[in-house]
Amino acid sequence: MSTARRIADVITLPARTVGSQTATVASGAASQVRVWTANEVDDWGRDNGFVDRFWAASRLRWDTCVGGTEHVPKRTGALIVVNARRFALAPVFSALAIGAAVDRPVRFVGRPDIAPLGPLMQRLGALLAIEGELEGALRAGELVVLGANHELGNHRTGQIDHRLVGAAVAAKVRVLPAATLSVPTRRSARVEIGPPARLTRKRRGPLEELELADHLQVRINALLDELGGATTGTPLDWLPFNGLGGI
Amino acid sequence: MAGVRVLVSGMGGELGSRVASLLEDEPWVGSLEGIDIDPPRRRLRRTVFHRIVPGQHDRTVDTVTKFDPHIVVHIAVWEPHARAGTETARSLNDDAVTSILGAAAECRALESIVVRSGIEVYGRARGSVTRPSEVEPRNPTSDYGRMLAEIERTARAIGRRVGVSVDKLRLATVLGPHVPSALGRVLRMPAVPFSAVANPPFAVIHQHDAAEAFVRAAKMRLDEPLNIVAPGAITAYQAIRRGHRLPVPLVGPEWFVARGLTYLAGAPIPDHVMEMFHRGRLADNTRAREVLGFSPATTTSDVIDQLYRWPTVIHQPASADWEAVAS
């Protein structure tokens, strides 16, 4: 064997080392992708493994405290209507937080029907904002979070789509108001679920869902007031604008 | 309820043969006859089989009217690129539904019709419900969906005309051993294309569960559509992973090339399978559970696992011993 050949056997060129390390990293990444994508989806396309990972990652952004979980039914379906601050993704973090608190999959309304965002949100448990879709999920005993129209702050809730509330009326499930409180500059967020909304007067026609939507709006506003009103995450919160120590 | 005469069209297929086999064990079934282009695929003890091509209307009418069935189970539905190309499938479906159900309408004893349909009738247009129940309107967006909608329309028209109940069983894609299926063939290829940007979930149904649903529906004589779907769902990528196949992610125009290549490889991708890969296909099976008391035993994931467990054909060379015996 020549001397050059023997030297070649013992010398590892840097390119070879880098190549080996790259291959190791690529192989590790590929195996990680395989693990992450090996989950199953449920009847509605929700991927529990993906939701768990997303929830773990989202806790870097939100530290959510959930109250009033005793109002959430253990097995049957229910519609949970929340207020939504603009850009706060309130239905998403509410669904994840409530799901973690009650240990049941919780879905939310409001995914686009276009790839890639639609299928991605479907993995998180999102439903299309169609009455038939929502009614089917509620009839199947699912918990679904519905966001009200966006508002600039947490002080008031926006209008609630009465047609979507009508899906819950048709499915004969509980409708729960819930207040969400979050600010852009802080991690802490809160979801407070109230007792089921019930109308004092029984209606036979579509007035029922209209009145129920209005009633829910009032109930969520009351819950928001109980939570101490809106916060901004800034020293402005300490100024006594409303006489109660908050704005 | 005993001594019921049942006619099964499409008895030569795997699903039809299985339905006939289950019906033979039912005490309420008096006599059983079947029609198809191919003979049944299993031993049937008390079934009379007639081998009739769908276009032979006169023979079909003679056979059906002579038998005078109480219940007709119409399973003779051809899925595009399962056993026939799209145009052939359309022609066979038209011929079969017109001649068999038309002949059944002439029978005085007829009480009920059970028709095979599919969840493709709901279509997957933008803004359509992800998991439609039976109350959702039919809006087919594929060739196969339109064929099934036409079959349902014909059956309903005949049912109304002669005043009998028509139960439409809307099956998810039927998979099982020996069931010719465009989806099954594509998924069993060594390298399988899937939509990288969508990869939506879909559901299937095992042939045994589908056959049981037909038998229960025939017994109960319902007059409504029912979704027959296995519990659970799976995405194309997850199915490919379960089968240890090579996933080929595609995003758009290259699907044209992929379809051409799979066609050459013997596994064409018809538009309803293409639609499923891009938009998914789920359905709500709650109603079937309530009405038929039927819940499929095999989940979607298990059906896919069984799809990959089917042994491929292994060609054995002729042995020398056989030649010795022959001489």
String of DSSP letters for B241-264:
HHTT-EEEEE-STHHHHHHHHHHH
Question: Would you call A105 an interface residue with chain B, using a CB distance cutoff of 8 Å?
Answer: no
Question: CA B198, CA B184: separation in Å to the nearest integer?
Answer: 20
Could you tell me the CA-to-CA distances from A211 to A166, B123, B163 in Å, in that order? 10, 34, 44
Neighbouring CB atoms inside 10 A of B138's CB total: 18
Residue with tokens 């139960």: B167
Shortest distance between the Cα of A49 and any Cα of chain B, in A, equals 13
Structure tokens at B322: 């056989």
- Tens-digit pLDDT string for chain B (327 aa): 678 999 999 999 999 999 999 999 999 999 999 999 989 988 898 899 999 988 888 999 999 999 999 999 999 999 999 989 999 999 999 999 999 999 999 999 999 999 999 999 999 999 899 999 999 999 999 999 999 999 999 999 999 999 999 999 999 999 987 889 999 999 999 999 999 999 999 999 999 999 999 999 999 999 999 999 999 999 999 999 999 999 999 998 889 999 999 999 999 999 999 999 999 999 999 999 999 998 899 999 999 999 998 776 677 666 656 566 555
Tell me which residues of chain B have a C-beta less than 8 Å from any C-beta of chain A.
Answer: 126-127, 129-133, 135-136, 195, 197-201, 203, 231-235, 237-238, 241, 278, 280, 282, 284, 286, 301
**What's residue A245's pLDDT?**
41
User: Any idea how long chain B is?
Assistant: 327
Residue in B211, B207, B133 with CA at minimum distance from that of residue B173: B207
Residue-wise pLDDT tens digits, B126-153: 989 999 999 999 999 999 999 999 999 9
**What's residue B252's pLDDT?**
82
**What's residue B320's pLDDT?**
59
User: Which residue intervals of chain A are DSSP H helices?
Assistant: 3-10, 14-36, 48-58, 90-102, 117-124, 131-139, 162-171, 207-226
Considering the entire predicted model, what is its pTM? 0.86
Nearest to B234 among A41, A119, A139 (CB): A41
At position A202, the amino acid (one-letter code) is: K
Could you tell me the CA-to-CA distances from B258 to A229, B54, B242, B262 in Å, in that order? 57, 34, 21, 6
Enter the ipTM.
0.81
Structure tokens at A193: 């679920």
Cis peptide before A116 (omega within 30 of 0): yes
DSSP symbol at B281? B
Residue in A188, A197, A182 with CA at minimum distance from that of residue A232: A182
A21 backbone dihedrals φ, ψ, rounded to 5°: -65, -40
- Residues of chain A in contact with residue B135, where contact means CB-CB under 8 angstroms, are 132
Q: Environment class of residue B180 by beta-carbon count within 10 Å: exposed (0-12), middle (13-18) or buried (19+)?
A: middle
**Higher confidence at residue B62 or residue A11?**
B62
β-strand partners of A80: A145, A176
Question: CA B226, CA B118: separation in Å to the nearest integer?
Answer: 10
**What's residue A153's pLDDT?**
75
- Interchain contact, B286 vs A139, CB within 8 Å: yes
Residue in B15, B131, B79 with CA at minimum distance from that of residue B271: B79
**What's residue A243's pLDDT?**
42
Question: CA A21, CA A9: separation in Å to the nearest integer?
Answer: 19
**What's residue A242's pLDDT?**
46
Pairing verdict, β B71-74 and A174-182:
unpaired
Residue-wise pLDDT tens digits, A64-123: 999 999 999 999 999 999 998 888 889 999 999 999 999 999 999 999 999 899 999 999
Neighbouring CB atoms inside 10 A of A247's CB total: 18
User: Which residue intervals of B118-224 are DSSP H helices?
Assistant: 143-162, 182-187, 207-220
Residue in B289, B170, B166 with CA at minimum distance from that of residue B224: B166
- Interchain contact, B136 vs A40, CB within 8 Å: no
**What's residue A244's pLDDT?**
44
Question: CA B273, CA B258: separation in Å to the nearest integer?
Answer: 13
Q: Is the pLDDT of residue A229 over 70?
A: no
Question: CA A186, CA A178: separation in Å to the nearest integer?
Answer: 20
Neighbouring CB atoms inside 10 A of B206's CB total: 24
Q: Is the pLDDT of residue A134 over 60?
A: yes
The percentage of residues in chain A with a pLDDT greater than 90, rounded to a whole number, is: 53
Residue-wise pLDDT tens digits, A196-225: 998 877 777 788 889 999 999 999 999 998
Residue in B53, B22, B24, B21 with CA at minimum distance from that of residue B36: B53
Residue-wise pLDDT tens digits, A98-114: 999 999 999 999 999 99
Question: Would you call A196 an interface residue with chain B, using a CB distance cutoff of 8 Å?
Answer: no
